[in-house]
Structure 1
Protein backbone atom coordinates (compact mmCIF):
# COMPACT_ATOMS: atom_id res chain seq x y z
CA UNK A 1 0.00 0.00 0.00
CA UNK A 2 1.34 3.40 -0.98
CA UNK A 3 2.04 6.08 1.61
CA UNK A 4 -0.76 8.23 0.22
CA UNK A 5 -3.24 5.39 0.75
CA UNK A 6 -1.96 4.77 4.27
CA UNK A 7 -2.22 8.45 5.12
CA UNK A 8 -5.76 8.64 3.72
CA UNK A 9 -6.80 5.66 5.87
CA UNK A 10 -5.22 7.31 8.92
CA UNK A 11 -7.10 10.57 8.32
CA UNK A 12 -10.37 8.68 7.91
CA UNK A 13 -9.77 6.60 11.05
CA UNK A 14 -8.81 9.65 13.12
CA UNK A 15 -11.97 11.49 12.13
CA UNK A 16 -14.05 8.43 13.02
CA UNK A 17 -12.26 7.85 16.34
CA UNK A 18 -12.66 11.51 17.33
CA UNK A 19 -16.43 11.00 17.50
CA UNK A 20 -16.13 7.98 19.79
CA UNK A 21 -15.76 7.75 23.57
CA UNK A 22 -12.19 7.15 24.81
CA UNK A 23 -12.71 3.44 25.49
CA UNK A 24 -13.68 2.96 21.82
CA UNK A 25 -11.22 5.47 20.35
CA UNK A 26 -8.11 4.02 21.99
CA UNK A 27 -8.29 0.64 20.21
CA UNK A 28 -8.96 2.48 16.96
CA UNK A 29 -5.79 4.52 17.47
CA UNK A 30 -3.80 1.40 18.35
CA UNK A 31 -4.95 -0.09 15.05
CA UNK A 32 -3.20 2.72 13.18
CA UNK A 33 0.30 1.69 14.28
CA UNK A 34 0.92 -0.49 11.23
CA UNK A 35 -0.14 2.30 8.90
CA UNK A 36 2.13 4.95 10.37
CA UNK A 37 5.28 2.87 10.45
CA UNK A 38 7.97 4.17 8.13
CA UNK A 39 9.22 2.51 4.99
CA UNK A 40 12.65 2.58 3.44
CA UNK A 41 13.53 5.00 0.66
CA UNK A 42 10.97 7.69 1.42
CA UNK A 43 11.89 11.33 0.79
CA UNK A 44 12.83 13.13 3.99
CA UNK A 45 9.88 15.53 3.79
CA UNK A 46 7.38 12.64 3.61
CA UNK A 47 9.14 10.75 6.39
CA UNK A 48 9.06 13.83 8.64
CA UNK A 49 5.34 14.33 7.94
CA UNK A 50 4.64 10.66 8.69
CA UNK A 51 6.64 10.88 11.88
CA UNK A 52 4.77 14.02 12.95
CA UNK A 53 1.46 12.26 12.36
CA UNK A 54 2.64 9.29 14.42
CA UNK A 55 3.71 11.50 17.32
CA UNK A 56 0.44 13.47 17.22
CA UNK A 57 -1.55 10.23 17.31
CA UNK A 58 0.50 9.08 20.30
CA UNK A 59 -0.30 12.34 22.11
CA UNK A 60 -4.02 11.80 21.56
CA UNK A 61 -3.72 8.24 22.84
CA UNK A 62 -1.85 9.33 25.97
CA UNK A 63 -4.44 12.00 26.75
CA UNK A 64 -7.34 9.59 26.27
CA UNK A 65 -5.63 6.95 28.39
CA UNK A 66 -5.10 9.46 31.19
CA UNK A 67 -8.62 10.87 30.95
CA UNK A 68 -7.35 14.29 29.89
CA UNK A 69 -9.02 16.63 27.37
CA UNK A 70 -7.97 15.80 23.82
CA UNK A 71 -9.96 18.22 21.64
CA UNK A 72 -6.95 20.25 20.47
CA UNK A 73 -4.86 17.10 20.17
CA UNK A 74 -7.37 15.52 17.78
CA UNK A 75 -7.16 18.57 15.53
CA UNK A 76 -3.35 18.45 15.56
CA UNK A 77 -3.30 14.73 14.76
CA UNK A 78 -5.76 15.14 11.89
CA UNK A 79 -3.84 18.13 10.52
CA UNK A 80 -0.55 16.19 10.70
CA UNK A 81 -2.08 13.18 8.94
CA UNK A 82 -3.58 15.42 6.25
CA UNK A 83 -0.19 17.05 5.69
CA UNK A 84 1.37 13.60 5.33
CA UNK A 85 -1.35 12.63 2.85
CA UNK A 86 -0.83 15.78 0.78
CA UNK A 87 2.93 15.26 0.59
CA UNK A 88 2.69 11.55 -0.13
CA UNK A 89 -0.01 11.98 -2.79
Structure 2
Protein backbone atom coordinates (compact mmCIF):
# COMPACT_ATOMS: atom_id res chain seq x y z
CA UNK A 1 0.00 0.00 0.00
CA UNK A 2 1.39 3.41 -0.95
CA UNK A 3 1.87 6.12 1.63
CA UNK A 4 -0.95 8.08 0.01
CA UNK A 5 -3.32 5.11 0.30
CA UNK A 6 -2.28 4.55 3.91
CA UNK A 7 -2.90 8.20 4.78
CA UNK A 8 -6.34 8.04 3.14
CA UNK A 9 -7.21 4.88 5.07
CA UNK A 10 -6.16 6.54 8.33
CA UNK A 11 -8.21 9.64 7.47
CA UNK A 12 -11.31 7.57 6.73
CA UNK A 13 -10.89 5.52 9.91
CA UNK A 14 -10.59 8.68 11.99
CA UNK A 15 -13.80 10.07 10.49
CA UNK A 16 -15.55 6.78 11.29
CA UNK A 17 -14.17 6.59 14.85
CA UNK A 18 -15.26 10.17 15.50
CA UNK A 19 -18.89 9.12 15.04
CA UNK A 20 -18.65 6.09 17.34
CA UNK A 21 -18.86 5.81 21.12
CA UNK A 22 -15.54 5.32 22.91
CA UNK A 23 -15.90 1.53 23.20
CA UNK A 24 -16.21 1.20 19.42
CA UNK A 25 -13.76 3.99 18.56
CA UNK A 26 -10.83 2.62 20.56
CA UNK A 27 -10.46 -0.59 18.52
CA UNK A 28 -10.61 1.46 15.31
CA UNK A 29 -7.81 3.71 16.57
CA UNK A 30 -5.78 0.76 17.84
CA UNK A 31 -5.98 -0.73 14.36
CA UNK A 32 -4.28 2.35 12.95
CA UNK A 33 -1.06 1.95 14.92
CA UNK A 34 0.53 -0.37 12.39
CA UNK A 35 -0.46 1.91 9.54
CA UNK A 36 1.03 5.08 10.96
CA UNK A 37 4.36 3.62 12.02
CA UNK A 38 6.95 5.01 9.63
CA UNK A 39 9.68 3.27 7.73
CA UNK A 40 11.75 6.38 7.01
CA UNK A 41 11.61 5.90 3.25
CA UNK A 42 9.58 9.03 2.46
CA UNK A 43 10.74 12.63 2.17
CA UNK A 44 11.20 14.37 5.51
CA UNK A 45 8.01 16.46 5.09
CA UNK A 46 5.91 13.33 4.56
CA UNK A 47 7.51 11.55 7.51
CA UNK A 48 6.88 14.61 9.69
CA UNK A 49 3.22 14.71 8.64
CA UNK A 50 2.88 10.98 9.31
CA UNK A 51 4.45 11.36 12.74
CA UNK A 52 2.12 14.26 13.56
CA UNK A 53 -0.87 12.11 12.60
CA UNK A 54 0.44 9.28 14.78
CA UNK A 55 0.83 11.55 17.81
CA UNK A 56 -2.60 13.10 17.28
CA UNK A 57 -4.19 9.64 17.07
CA UNK A 58 -2.44 8.68 20.32
CA UNK A 59 -3.88 11.77 22.03
CA UNK A 60 -7.40 10.82 20.90
CA UNK A 61 -6.90 7.28 22.15
CA UNK A 62 -5.65 8.45 25.55
CA UNK A 63 -8.63 10.77 25.94
CA UNK A 64 -11.08 8.02 24.96
CA UNK A 65 -9.46 5.62 27.39
CA UNK A 66 -9.73 8.18 30.20
CA UNK A 67 -13.29 9.20 29.35
CA UNK A 68 -12.25 12.75 28.48
CA UNK A 69 -13.72 14.95 25.71
CA UNK A 70 -12.28 14.28 22.25
CA UNK A 71 -13.91 16.78 19.89
CA UNK A 72 -10.90 19.06 19.49
CA UNK A 73 -8.53 16.10 19.49
CA UNK A 74 -10.36 14.46 16.61
CA UNK A 75 -10.18 17.71 14.66
CA UNK A 76 -6.40 17.82 15.20
CA UNK A 77 -5.96 14.17 14.20
CA UNK A 78 -8.12 14.54 11.09
CA UNK A 79 -6.26 17.70 10.08
CA UNK A 80 -2.94 15.90 10.55
CA UNK A 81 -4.15 13.01 8.40
CA UNK A 82 -5.30 15.46 5.71
CA UNK A 83 -1.87 17.10 5.71
CA UNK A 84 -0.24 13.67 5.42
CA UNK A 85 -2.51 12.79 2.48
CA UNK A 86 -1.68 16.05 0.71
CA UNK A 87 2.07 15.60 1.11
CA UNK A 88 2.10 11.89 0.25
CA UNK A 89 0.73 12.42 -3.26
Aligned twin of 2:60: 60
Aligned twin of 2:36: 36
Aligned twin of 1:73: 73
Aligned pairs, number? 89
Q: Please give the alpha-carbon distance, in whole angstroms, between the structure 2 residues aligned to 1:65 and 1:34.
A: 19
SS of 1:6's equivalent?
A: helix
Q: Please give the alpha-carbon distance, in whole angstroms, between the structure 2 residues aligned to 1:72 and 1:9.
A: 21
32-41 or 67-76, which deviates more: 32-41
User: TM-score with structure 2 length normalisation?
Assistant: 0.98
Q: 5+ unaligned residues in a row in structure 1: which ranges?
A: none
Q: Please give the alpha-carbon distance, in whole angstroms, between the structure 1 residues aligned to 2:2 and 2:34.
A: 13
Ranked by relative contact order (alpha carbons within 8 Å, sequence separation 6 or more), the top structure is 1
30-39 or 45-54, which deviates more: 30-39
Q: 5+ unaligned residues in a row in structure 2: which ranges?
A: none
Q: Moved runs in structure 1, 4+ residues, more than 2 A?
A: none
How far apart are residue 35 of structure 1 and its match? Answer: 0.8
User: TM-score with structure 1 length normalisation?
Assistant: 0.98
